[in-house]
Structure 1
Amino acid sequence: MENARKAKHGWALTLFFTILSVVYILPIVIVVYNSFKSKVWINKTPFALPNEKSFVEFLNYTKGIEKTNFFGAFVVSLFITVISVLLICLCTSMCAWYIARVNSAFSRTFYMLCAFSMIVPFQMVMFTLSKIANMLHCSNPFGIIFVYLGFGAGLAIFMFVGFVKSIPLEIEEAAMIDGCNPLQTFFGVVLPIMKPTMITVAILQAMWIWNDYLLPYLVLDQRKWKTIPIAVQYLKGGYGAVEMGQMMAMLVLAIIPIVIFYLACQKYIIEGVVAGAVKG
């Protein structure tokens, strides 16, 4: 009787999450097939599939790429995302290792400050941040990387500390007995063990930085540098006119790299999140 009840509940949960998945995926599907339709037909029948009248092949893609200088924005976004993610993963993993292994008032206070930074909304500091970034000449792809490091450190350190506390201390002690210094112990022993959490942090940070619009808009000098979210906004003309087909085409191109990265690393996500939550 109990097994039948569990099976019934299992089917109900499966059906519920299947419907929920369809609801989440449906807007993406609508964007994809509307990217092959003309603007007039998108406005008339936004939920209809392309037909012989509305289908414009890859015209929206070619015009969108030309108008937004998409590949230039793609290079800028790729550079900022890759370097920022690498820097966040390296710096925060080392910091988390220190916090987890050095039990002092300083390390505990620093950890609490990092945890507190996750609940501070960006809107509270965005104007002050943009002013300071301008004063420090950070309005370029190199400067904004350090801004992302500051904003991404809180979540990354929180996840890494939880994982490091689950690593047996005896492994590090054995490495030190064998003659390893702290840097050799970290890069040779601890860092390989942190791989699942490292990939999870990298995915979360990459998705955030790649899709971020507000921070680059406030910090970057847009006369020289544009990320993809900023470039796509240039398809919005005066008086509210929007080239919907071209904008949807650019959105499709923009999500392809991050979707590929996510699919390649998705098996590590749950493993890394659970590992990071073993100990707080």
Structure 2
Amino acid sequence: MITQNKTKTYGYIVLGLVLSLFWFYPFYLVIVNSFKTKAEIFVNTLGLPSEGTVENYPQAFGALDFVSSFFNSLIITVSSIFLICICASMAAYALSRRKGRTSSLIYFIFAICMLIPFQSIMIPLISIFGSFDMLNRFGLMIMYLGLASSLSIFLYFGALRGIPIALDEAAIIDGCNRFQVFRYIILPILKPTTVTVIVLNAIWFWNDYLLPSLVINKDGMYTIPLKMFYFFGEYSKQWHLALAALIIAIIPIVVVYMFLQKYIIKGISDGAVK
């Protein structure tokens, strides 16, 4: 019996290692080829660089106009996430504390909206925002707020179901109003869920290309994914610079994930199970 358990454990370990190799393989290609010249990438894509070069990184940094594009990506991502965390948490709190058919119906509508593909509303959405002259950075943030609210409210609502209403009642007896109850008691308890919402949406907003390409049409407002498109011309593709730019672009979001990862699993489980 013990031998069978050990064999099963070793089998899971081997399977995990094999799956991790498949998962890390694309990252290996990106990292290794970012240190090669353009010619060497086509000659030897899979192998290590024969003469490693770091010149791709400063060239990619300049071609990206990194300072400007980084600022645009940062302000769009941070502002959108701030709006989402405030609006979604307050909406979920109101829905979770008001018992009735209306609240259940509103929550059901938000949950169903997660199933609507963006491509089905893409054209009318851009048309409506364009008619009100609400494109570029401000319009993009409002669109992200609407598109990300469903999942965020779903996570917050699930977490709030695990927080007893007795906490609210005790705070109200002590003299707090509803906003103070939410601000000083409920919101701190929702910290793991808030971190989960931040990370999930930050990864989406930071790496998104489709929606910004449709909304942003002014010079000086392009995000990092939009700037990376310029490495792929009609007649030539600068893979050596594109891969180096990709490494530069993912570093900020990887750093954010590393600092917040301990809250992510707990936040997802709170929002989906309770």
TM-score range, shorter chain: over 0.9
Classify the secondary structure of the residue corresponding to 1:234: helix
Matched, 1:237 2:236: no
The match for 2:53 is: 56
Unaligned runs of 5+ in 1: none
* Match among 61, 66, 69 for residue 62 of structure 2: 66
Rounded Cα–Cα distance in structure 2 between residues aligned with 1:174 and 1:214:
48
Whole-Å separation in 1 of the counterparts to 2:175 and 2:139: 38
Aligned to 1:251: 246
The answer to whether residue 23 in structure 2 is matched with residue 16 in structure 1 is no
Report the counterpart of residue 75 of structure 2 in structure 1.
79
Corresponding residue for 2:170?
Answer: 174
The answer to whether the aligner puts 1:140 opposite 2:121 as a matched pair is no
Which residue number in structure 2 is paired with residue 160 of structure 1? 156
Equivalence map 1:1-280=2 (5 Å)? 1=1, 3-52=2-51, 55-57=52-54, 59-239=55-235, 241-279=236-274
Amino acid at match of 2:268: V
Distance 1:88 1:49 in 2: 43
Supply the distance in 1 between the matched residues of 2:234 and 2:163 (Cα, whole angstroms). Answer: 57
Residue identity in the other structure for 2:200: L
* 8 Å contact from structure 1 (residues 68, 231) kept in 2: yes
Cα distance in 1, alignment partners of residues 253 and 18 from structure 2 = 24
Distance 1:222 1:236 in 2: 20
Shift of 1:105: 2.2
How far did 1:124 drift? 0.5
Alpha-carbon displacement from aligned partner over 1:147-190 (angstroms, at most 9, x marks no partner): 10000001001111010000011111111110000000001000
Q: Does the 8 Å contact 1:166/1:278 carry over to 2? A: no
CA contact (8 A) 2:136 2:218 kept: no
SS in 2 for 1:125: helix
Give me the whole-angstrom Cα distance separating, in 2, the residues matched to 1:133 and 1:11.
Answer: 56
Distance 1:15 1:222, change over 3 A: farther
Would the aligned equivalents of 2:35 and 2:49 in 1 still touch at CA under 8 Å?
A: yes
RMSD: 1.3
Judge conservation of contact 2:68–2:220 (CA < 8 Å) in 1: no
Provide the aligned length of Structure 1 versus Structure 2.
274
Out of 124-133 and 205-214, give the one that drifted further. Answer: 124-133
With 13-22 and 155-164 compared, the bigger mean Cα shift is at: 13-22
Gaps of 5+ in 2: none
Paired with 2:199 and 2:152, the residues of 1 have a C-alpha distance of 11
Does the CA contact (< 8 Å) of 2:148 and 2:201 recur in 1?
yes
Matched residue of 2:231: which SS?
coil
TM-score norm. by structure 2 comes to 0.96
In 2, are the aligned partners of 1:39 and 1:244 still within 8 Å (CA)? yes
Q: CA deviation at 1:56?
A: 2.6
